[in-house]
Amino acid sequence: MILVGLTGGIGSGKTTVSEMLAARGAVIIDADQITRELQAPGSPVLEEIVAAFGSDLLDSAGVLDRAALASKVFGDPEALARLNKIVHPAVGREMASRLEAQRTTTNVVVLDIPLLVENPREGLCGTVVVDLPLDLAVERLVRLRNMSHADAQARISRQASREARVAIADRVIDNSGDLESLEVQVDSVWRWMRSLPPAAADAGRVSRS
Ligand code: ATP
């Protein structure tokens, strides 16, 4: 297995890049997607969230209103810590189990982790950062995600800085251009990924700080 970390700020284009890599044959382990799966109606994680934050977070079909949950914990470090304590261990276990299933393969496995700077992983064969100017990330979040300008800016300002992310990168993908320019860069990054030496037997563990 070749194990690569993929990260970037909110709205930078991580999911878009992951999809392009998957189309070229990469196996994607996506922390956000796993989080959503583990919060499906009837799941133990969702039950714990409702017990802690209230059943008004569910719609009539029992689906979690993620935006309402985000606004409940946003700017409230204690509530955020409570939520993380419910969600993070379950997501960590699921990511570890998907990683174990890949360990003896020859696949290129991409860990798509928004907070990779804050939560580093050991033994990655390489790290890719999707980067773009902050005002463009805000513009895309407002236009394509229905976020308010103030909300997008506030979320970005709480993340690791652009410089801190680029500092951990072996390869930086510049997503300030169009999707065609992104495809060209993903082609090059995909070639680079496949040339990397395989991961050590215990690669991918969360680093202890
Ligand atoms: P999040 O941090 O919110 O999960 P993300 O980093 O996964 O976001 P994407 O969802 O891939 O980012 O991209 C954010 C939005 O910008 C999406 O609507 C996506 O379709 C769009 N987008 C990504 N790259 C480009 C591009 N080069 N040109 C135009 N739109 C783009």
pLDDT, one tens digit per residue, over 118-142 is: 999 999 999 999 999 999 999 999 9
What torsion do the CA atoms of 54, 55, 59, 63 make, to the nearest 10 degrees?
80
147 neighbors 141 (Cβ within 8 angstroms): yes
CA-proximal residue: ligand 1, atom 23 (nearest) = 13
Q: Which atom of ligand 1 is nearest to the CA of 130?
A: 6
State if residue 15 touches ligand 1 by the CB under 6 angstroms criterion. Answer: yes
State if residue 175 touches ligand 1 by the CB under 6 angstroms criterion. Answer: yes
Sorted by where each starts, the structural domains of the chain and their CATH numbers stand as 1-26+107-209 (3.40.50.300), 33-104 (3.40.50.300)
Q: What pTM did the predictor assign?
A: 0.94
Residue with tokens 């290129």: 108
Residue 141 Cα to ligand 1 midpoint, Å, equals 8
- 66: helix, coil or strand? helix
> Given a cut of 70, is residue 209 above it in pLDDT?
no
State if residue 32 touches ligand 1 by the CB under 6 angstroms criterion. Answer: yes
HEC secondary structure over 133-193: CHHHHHHHHHHHHCCCHHHHHHHHHCCCCHHHHHHCCCEEEECCCCHHHHHHHHHHHHHHH
Residue 42 is predicted with a pLDDT of 92
Residue 67 is predicted with a pLDDT of 87
